[in-house]
Structure 1
């Protein structure tokens, strides 16, 4: 059998015969550690320069759009930018991801604007504060530049589903602005476990040692580094709390299994005792039968023989019963073994999480020292600037505030109509007004470019003025023949305008309709009271608020929370996942 040639021997031979090759390998390896990542931005004149708010609006629109599109469905912004959420419950040890793409029609020339779009998206999608989102966006840009085109790295950390969307030419971001359009996939790691739990951004992955070393070279990044440091500390606190709860559940399950094992053992001992007792009774009967055989035939003998048969029958029944009990006990033992194996997996997982948390704590402690060291240096560098620059900056910001407000108004006027989807306008036309504020409406698909009607929906029982559009179709409110019979949520095919399905729950005819992450939110009616209902795409109820709500309420979403009016018009905050009450806001 041949002995394998060691890597060290190969390198030694290469060094002897081809020294230039090994020298270049050493240089490349050293460059990875020391080379500063520098983004080359466009420095020429702009025909039209977008405002900061206009740039941030792109990120906000991407966030709003992908929420409606749902998991694993791309949402595009005029061929310039797009985003897709890669969520899968397969490969549980790997990251899910959001991928923001800079597409071919994009005209973006500065990395700061890439970060602004990213930060606005993160704020809209996950509810991060402005400072947190900026810090994350900075590190995400460096992370994607450092691992640009490194599909082997991404394959090792991310789910296979994500790998279908990237390649060596577009994974990450180039450091040169000219190579961004059509060749940029900003990969953002998510901590969740599947479509039902997307999670949030993993701050440790986007700031690993390679990334952190590069960001440290940017002296102006100290504030963002501090913000990410605080985010990491909070991440550790949240994971520690979650892990403690897991450990408590594991301990409780261990107690339950121990109790069940004791009960099984008790049953086993009792079964064995009864088996021995059964064998003793059989032996006694056998002796009775032997004794009876030697006796002459008589009525008394026949009577005893009949009694023995009845006893034998009873013993046979007892034997069958004990066999069934033993089979059940063995099945219970198998279940206990499965439970213990499952529990062991959970304990092993908890131990791994413990080790990961300890590593994270070490990283945070080390970063704290670095921040203290670099922060002191930064103070010395900026000490000569004094308060004068700060005052000048504040004056400039005050002057620009009014300009930004005016631009904000213009942006809102130009904002994409929510009834436009995939370049088509979906228009609800009032067919007739009825008493009590009820309407009968007609739905049309209109091509805005030609101003021609493409389709008219055959559905003639659409009521209310609220509807929402997403990738799977259009959700409207319909009545059951007349407005007194009740109202239902109805899904309409987006391409044909034909009905697909309707729900079973009665909904308020003036209800809003909001579609977020493949869930539909609407006001439902139950026993004359109004509640917030959360439905899946088959209109099956997922959650219902415990609080009654006002039928004319507005609804607002922020991160994991919903703001809505209670029946007495008080503002309450609900958990978006299960609609439980979180807080009440008193004006």
Structure 2
């Protein structure tokens, strides 16, 4: 049909319905000054249910295919994804209309975009329609503007597009084979596919164009009404993402704790395996087969430790990414609090400036903390106060009781070697207690049967005794768990065993009223402590769940 017989539809976004062909939402691309944005469509006929369904299915199928590959083509419409660049510029999903495909009305393209956005980026139907309108307006405004896109988008986008096809034309006959609609995308860890529409870019650019260049009063008013929808979309998006962010942080935190517990368990297994191997090596001829078996066991533990460390690094990277996202959301939320959709060009008010100054201050503190943690990570767990600590096995007494010595190497003094003056150490491991010293399990008494065991805090410099838990009788095979400046152990009280909590300076704080198995494992999850007993042969395994705050019993689980 000739253009002279076509009907020119002015942009009326607020009244734009994706179920009707009679209302075109957008307008002329190369807008300058007061020129109106207008679309010329082939037909004014209302879209049939079949056409609406066809458009919706096209967008959905494009999204489903692109989730598996870097490009997708459905019924003459292609989507190609270019990821954001290392240069910090935007990536893009590029919608291309082939020469063989033609549409009677801009609403068909809008429906495809809306369906694609809804499926790909998990937006609600209404919000996806709003974004589709903004994307079409954005692309019509910057039709063939390679300079504009080149400044904002990564080089990969420019390499796969043609300057004479960029954006979308206002005349229907120029859509087939001449359309490359740019959908700005960015990374978003909160989305299922890790990608998202860059809604900030669309909102800022389109609203500014309407504010500065749209001179038609009716169109301007209707576009400002549409901008209110975008403003609500953006505000709701921040709220929703904050909820998702917290859920993901909780998941990552749990994963990190589980990995840390596993690392501690592997460390314990390795120490026991190495100790056993050393015992076997005292008679290498007699124990040859056992030595080979135990050596293989140690290797497997080392391999598992390596894999666990790699997983821990991945978790830390994810934590870092979530923290960055949290900072971004905080800044966006504060910025939107004092602004409206029509004031993009206005200066930031004092409140926003103060908030940003505070954010910068916190970022500086965070950087300093990270630097300290990095230095800590560069050292092994057995480095305390810049000295390398290690346990030296002295003798095996009986029934699993050991006597050990704690030694230290001082790298700053030409690897000088010295021993802790405290000799009654029975634990195979030690724990660094922040701002306090080195924690070990010690004992009083020569005979194993009458020994009383206690927590012993050693000075981090000379390894001399700083303080002990004199009044407590600690189970000699207790785990020593240091969490949130508290120390959790198994304590013996009147021939029964309880979970007890001490402050970091070994001041007694609380113990469970309900007794537990002497050989128990402690698992921390949220505000609970799960105590898994290791019963004697023939007895049932029980898991007692305590409230972390006051160590009161919540329930008992019997698998």
TM range (shorter): 0.3 to 0.5
Q: TM-score normalized by structure 2?
A: 0.43
Structure with bigger RCO (C-alpha 8 Å, 6+ apart):
1
More helix, by proportion? 1
